[in-house]
Amino acid sequence: MVLGAEEKNPGAAMIEFVWIRLFAALPLPILAYLLLPRARTTSGMALKIPFFQELEEFRQTATGKSFGWLRFIAIIAWILLVCAAARPQWIGEPLSMPISGRDLLLAVDISGSMQAKDMEINRHPVDRLTMIKMVAGDFIERRQGDRIGLILFGSRAYLQAPLSLDRKTVNQLLQESLIGIAGEKTAIGDALGLAVKRLRQRPGDRKVLILLTDGANTAGTIEPLKAAELAKEGKLSIYTIGVGADRMVVNSFFGNRVVNPSADLDETTLQKIADLTGGRYFRARESQDLEKIYAMLDKLEPVESDSQNLRPIRELFFWPLSGALLLAFLLLLLRRYESS
């Protein structure tokens, strides 16, 4: 696809010749026929036959007809060859493409604690990661025009999907993530450091990281606040989301009891990370909270409404070129048949 092709014709699809001036070469065979000296031919009679005149008349008649066909085929082949050299292209209808300078990374905690089933979807208890997949998947689909990437972290952090406009693939990779594949602990600092590394060299100043976690930093080599300072230097805004319910009823030997499944959530550090980088901290105690948070993020970091018109282009030169080669091969066969 190319940018700016719509300036020539903002309407429907069309065929265009990139090097249209090459059509000036069409009369070259005529000029060569008129201007170049003709080759000399010598004739000699090795054998005299009594009915030579009748044979000569028949030969001239047959040769004249075949020469007419050969000349017609040669003209068509030459026209096709010039058309191929002029580089024909099919230019499709303009396609409106949203443009955004925003780079948005999603960092999702997949440590062992994410398997706690303190969330509900349609009144059915689910683990925290399943709830994040459902709500975050809808959020990703709405970010048309943003370059979105995915970081998964547990005891270590790794880039699951680089920044891309392909929201469908990023969402699919999120849906395929599994609890514990990156380790049982939580390396928040390493996840932040990886995000800074991926976004530091990116142009523009609209770089956003959304961090979802249910715990505290218990692994990794980088302290979360140190990574947040690096993020601030790289003009990276971090929105942190603490996931997990405040109360949960569990069955035990002594009967039902109420516990706080989010006792390990380090809200203080998450709040400091957000404040230091110009973002915000949110608390998601249930799926409805997370949906509201993503709706708020849509307002805080709106999708760009600007767009560019791009037109798909497909090369067509191989069609006339193939026709010219086919006709040239046919001419060769006819000349050999005539001379035999």
Please give the model's pTM, rounded to 2 decimal places. 0.62
User: Which tokens sit at 315?
Assistant: 């090369």
Domain locations in the chain as residue ranges: 2-32+54-93+310-339, 100-305
What's domain 100-305's superfamily in CATH? von Willebrand factor, type A domain (3.40.50.410)
Q: What is the pLDDT of residues 124-133, one digit of tens each?
A: 889 999 999 9
162: closest CA among 176, 175, 149?
149
pLDDT at 5: 43
Give the Cα-Cα-Cα angle 206, 193, 149 (nearest 5 degrees).
50
Pair 135, 280: CB distance under 8 Å: no
Show the low-confidence residues of the chain (pLDDT under 50). 1-8, 45, 47, 49, 51-52, 54-56, 58, 62, 305
Q: Which pLDDT does position 229 carry in this prediction?
A: 95
Q: Phi, psi at residue 288, to the nearest 5°?
A: -65, -35
